[in-house]
Amino acid sequence: MSIRMPFRLKLFLPLGVTLAGLLVAALAAVDSTSAERIDDLIALRARQGLRSFQELGRRRQRNLIEALDLLATAPRVRAAFLDRGSLAEAMQSALYEVGLRQTAMDLLVVADADGKVVSRYLYPAGAKQADPIGARPLPLPVPSAQHLPEQELIARVLAGDAPETLDPILVVEDRLFLAVPTAILDLDVAVGVMVLGVEITDADAAEVHGFQSENDHIAWLVGGQVRATSFSGAEERRRATEALAVALPTQREDTPRQQAVSIGPESYRALIQVLRPAGDPAGGPVHLALFISMDSLVRFRAEMRSLTMILALIALALAMAVSLLVAGQVSRPVRDLAEGTRRIAEGDYAYRIQAHSGDELGDLARSFNRMAEDIASKEKVRAVLNKVVAREVAEELLRSDLGLSGRLVTATLLFADLRGFTAFTRGMDPERVVSILNEHMTAMSAEILRERGIVDKYVGDEIIGVFGAPRSYPDDALAAVRAAVRMRTRLEEQNRERRLRGDAPLAMGIGLHTGRVVAGCMGSQDLLNFTCIGEAVNLAARLCTSAGAGEILISEATLVAAGDRVQAERREPLRLKGFDEPVAAWQVQIVADQPGTECGGGA
């Protein structure tokens, strides 16, 4: 089973498929690149968030250290530490100074020269927010045996570490603080330690948040509970806590990892960093969670995708159109050629192809046109030939390659001419003469041709027909006689019409003889005439001259050759010019349909 695929489709398909494939590949590449970009963007924003957090943390720490230094060098505080040697008084003086200087403070601790905590003051949770003016820090109990969270900072600063190098995260009473220590020195001997802490609140979260993109958020957690966050609404905070409760347990301590988290309708990538592991003496676990908003990114990606899709579809349509165009352009000359050959095959030799291009296809078209012209002119020649020469002769000529050679054949010659034609046409218009003659010749020729004879030539008003050359049939003589009878009948019909028209009738006499003749194309190379030569020809001609109007004279040979269907009356042997002996002649009356059967018909 073979499907006929138009040439244009054959061209279009590979082109179109390739282009479509390339476009799909490009689309996929763009899509995957944009996915990568989004991941990069998320990582970048997470890094930025962390950096802002770290930077602000360091800045807060520096501020705290500065504030603590101011406290520690306040004359009252120093006097209490150095001159009085009273740590309790030092704490009270420090609290006094805090109030005086409006120092930011949530936690204040005083320890002795050995690092043992002596006094701790802490603002109750939410006290400052509730009553900014009246809120007071309250003393915390100092358990003797327990290890306090601020102990680590105190020990390190007594060991000589610079405060800015210490980790400021501190968890006291389950609350998150940023704290720094300082050693009180009497010249170069430590006489005590002070620790100043500020609570990490939503305001801090808001400050970090201010350096991130608007929809990103941050949260600090202590023991899995959110202590400070940039999420503003109560509902959002609750949802954030819930989401983190799920995400935290899966968090590994070593490297922060991105997790997809949903808070209400918004989706985030959460980056959770462990600031302090659980069980740390300074308090823990403390986590920092950065929320990178996915919404804008997801939206961005969707937009990118749809934009790419649209562009790809447009490009695809264009590609298809271009492919179609190109396929059409390339296939058109081919189709034109196919059409041309079809038309030529059908016989429309006048069809020409338009040759546009200067390439091989254009050459092909031009060759085709030349070929068509050749064919057309050959056909013209053939048509002319057929008009001028009997078709069978023409075919024979063409077939035998226009051989000059003649053949000796037995043929029946038929001569028919008009009686008194010259007189008949005297004084007539030349056009009218030609017209009458043509009418007559057409009718007579038709009868000859019908009986498979050929018209040798027309000589004035005389027709010469040949039966038996170039092709011969068994009943050539009979056919010839029949043709003659038909010619006579036809003439009578035409004469009736003429009379009705008011024209004069024509009179014709016919002579036939069967004999051996030489038949072939006679003449020069350039001008040939198919004809017959021989005594038989002369005899037929003479018989015709002897025939009267409406008479068909046949020779004995013809009579014999024609057989007993011919009914003819015997005539006196004729003395004919060129023949020594008188020639027997018969006048044909009718040709029976069946041998020996009478048939109707006039004489």
Nearest approach, Cβ of residue 137 and other proteins (Å): 20
Between residues 69 and 462, which has the closer beta carbon with respect to other proteins?
Answer: 69
One character per residue 544-563, x = contact with other proteins (rule: CB under 8 A): --------------------
Between residues 31 and 89, which has the closer beta carbon with respect to other proteins?
Answer: 89
Q: Is 591 exposed, middle or buried (0-12, 13-18, 19+ CB in 10 A)?
A: buried
Instruction: Convert 130-151 to b/e letters by CB count within 10 Å (16 or more is b).
Output: eeeeeeebeebeeeeeeebbbb
298 binds other proteins (CB under 8 A): no
Between residues 73 and 435, which has the closer beta carbon with respect to other proteins?
Answer: 73
80 binds other proteins (CB under 8 A): yes
Among 76, 352, 452, 490, binds other proteins (CB under 8 A): 76
84 binds other proteins (CB under 8 A): yes
Between residues 97 and 551, which has the closer beta carbon with respect to other proteins?
Answer: 97
Cα angle vertex 250, ends 249, 252, to 5°?
100
Amino acid of residue 523 = G
161 binds other proteins (CB under 8 A): no
82 binds other proteins (CB under 8 A): yes
Between residues 104 and 355, which has the closer beta carbon with respect to other proteins?
Answer: 104
Among 26, 185, 326, 364, binds other proteins (CB under 8 A): 185
One character per residue 328-367, x = contact with other proteins (rule: CB under 8 A): ----------------------------------------
Q: Applying CB under 8 A, what is the total number of residues that bind other proteins?
A: 22
Task: Please choose, out of 81-89, 240-248, 285-293, 462-470, the segment that lies near other proteins by the rule CB under 8 A.
Answer: 81-89
Q: Are 513 and 412 in contact (CB under 8 A)?
A: yes
Between residues 76 and 419, which has the closer beta carbon with respect to other proteins?
Answer: 76
Tokens 């997809």 locate to: 260
Task: Please choose, out of 76-84, 137-145, 329-337, 445-453, the segment that lies near other proteins by the rule CB under 8 A.
Answer: 76-84
Among 188, 359, 572, 580, binds other proteins (CB under 8 A): 188
Among 19, 30, 63, 69, binds other proteins (CB under 8 A): 69
72 binds other proteins (CB under 8 A): yes
Q: Are 190 and 198 in contact (CB under 8 A)?
A: no
For the chain, give the number of residues.
603
Which pair of structure tokens corresponds to residue 229? 């966050």
Nearest approach, Cβ of residue 271 and other proteins (Å): 38
Between residues 41 and 82, which has the closer beta carbon with respect to other proteins?
Answer: 82
Beta-carbon-side half-sphere exposure of residue 143 (alpha carbons within 13 Å): 7
Q: How far apart are CA 351 and CA 342, in angstroms?
A: 10
Among 60, 78, 175, 542, binds other proteins (CB under 8 A): 78
Q: How far apart are CA 217 and CA 58, in angstroms?
A: 20
Sorted by sequence, the CB contacts under 8 Å of residue 494 that are 6+ apart come out as 439, 440, 443, 506
Between residues 100 and 408, which has the closer beta carbon with respect to other proteins?
Answer: 100
**3 state DSSP class of 451:** coil
E strand or H helix that includes residue 139? strand 138-139
Q: List residues bridging with 408 in a β-sheet.
A: 518
Omega before residue 285 within 30° of 0, cis: yes
88 binds other proteins (CB under 8 A): no
The 3-state secondary structure of 490-533, one letter per residue: HHHHHHHHHHHHCCCCCEEEEEEEEEEEEEEEEECCCCEEEEEE
Cα end-to-end distance, the chain, whole Å: 69
Concatenate the DSSP letters of all residues of 282-311 into one string: T---EEEEEEEE-HHHHHHHHHHHHHHHHH
Task: Please choose, out of 83-91, 288-296, 446-454, 460-468, the segment that lies near other proteins by the rule CB under 8 A.
Answer: 83-91
Among 43, 79, 330, 592, binds other proteins (CB under 8 A): 79
31 binds other proteins (CB under 8 A): no
244 binds other proteins (CB under 8 A): no
Nearest approach, Cβ of residue 112 and other proteins (Å): 16
164 binds other proteins (CB under 8 A): no
66 binds other proteins (CB under 8 A): yes
Among 100, 302, 375, 383, binds other proteins (CB under 8 A): 100
Among 97, 204, 396, 447, binds other proteins (CB under 8 A): 97
Q: How far apart are CA 99 and CA 93, in angstroms?
A: 10
Q: How far apart are CA 250 and CA 261, in angstroms?
A: 12
Between residues 80 and 541, which has the closer beta carbon with respect to other proteins?
Answer: 80
E strand or H helix that includes residue 118? strand 117-122
Nearest approach, Cβ of residue 97 and other proteins (Å): 8
Among 38, 50, 63, 89, binds other proteins (CB under 8 A): 89
Distances (CA, A) of 18 to 11, 12, 310, 332: 12, 10, 19, 22
Tokens 């390739």 locate to: 18
Among 1, 159, 187, 234, binds other proteins (CB under 8 A): 187
Nearest approach, Cβ of residue 284 and other proteins (Å): 33
Q: Are 552 and 544 in contact (CB under 8 A)?
A: no
Nearest approach, Cβ of residue 162 and other proteins (Å): 13
Concatenate the DSSP letters of all residues of 359-424 into one string: SHHHHHHHHHHHHHHHHHHHHHHHHHHHHHS-HHHHHHHHHTTS----EEEEEEEEEEEEETHHHH
Nearest approach, Cβ of residue 195 and other proteins (Å): 17
What residues line the site for other proteins (CB under 8 A)? 66, 69-70, 72-76, 78-80, 82-84, 89, 97, 100-101, 184-185, 187-188
